[in-house]
Amino acid sequence: MLEIIAHRGASRECLENTLPAFDRALAQGADGIELDVHSTRDGRIVVHHDPAVRRRTGKGPATLPLAAMDLDSLHTHRLRDGQMIPTLDAVLDLVGSRATVYIEVKATGIEDALVACLERYPSVNVAVHSFDHRIPVAVRARRPGTAIGLLSASYPLDIGAMLRPAAAESLWQQAQLIDDALVREAHAAGATVIAWTENDHEHARTLMKMGVDALCTDTPGALRAVLFG
């Protein structure tokens, strides 16, 4: 059964990577929640796409790296909808057993802090992926049994050679670079294929016919309705 994954939550309806976006995606029946993580200076994993936030100071707006802020300081910052940047703990607590949480690691050197967070929620189904393929492998080395995926925005010349050394369960492939051969070779290497970010309904149907295993989308409710009625 094709899996529908909400890209940063229901990000066309709510501000991405926020608790309302994730809650809305769950209400729409998303099978998975995809999100981005960084770490604060005091080792708390937070959910945000960019490595920094923009804050106003006495001299005007300033860009402050998340890695240079502690959690208390970060929580004084508000996003444009008034929300705080959520911690991964808060998201895992919200999602619980309702969906898989797919965690894209955006920063290097945060594997220990991430594993510590995941260990607090052993009943939540999680998977870890990154463009830096060393990161999910390092997470699984610290937390055996963690499902991992490799992100790709190019067409690998040898898909099996990329997937097998990592023993990755999933290939996160840019949607427009997926064809029948890629799906076939990824499956032969023991990996599922997750297409990102797919919002076009006709192309989604094409990928479904190819045997793609999951679609990561900004519109989980609408895409589910189109594909499954």
Catalytic residue status for 133: no
- Residue from 183, 190, 184 nearest 215 by CA: 183
**191 conformational bin, left if phi > 0, alpha if psi -120 to 50, beta if neither:** beta
Please, which residues have CB within 8 angstroms of residue 66's CB and are 6 or more apart in sequence?
38, 39, 40, 46, 48, 51, 52, 53, 74, 107
Catalytic residue selected from 7, 38, 129, 133: 7
Q: Write out the two tokens for 128.
A: 């870890």
Q: How far apart are CA 17 and CA 29, in angstroms?
A: 17
Catalytic residue selected from 48, 49, 133, 187: 49
Indicate if the alpha-carbon torsion angle 152, 136, 194, 217 is positive or negative: negative
Q: Is the peptide bond before 192 cis (omega within 30 degrees of 0)?
A: no
Catalytic residue status for 187: no
- Catalogue the active-site residues: 7, 49
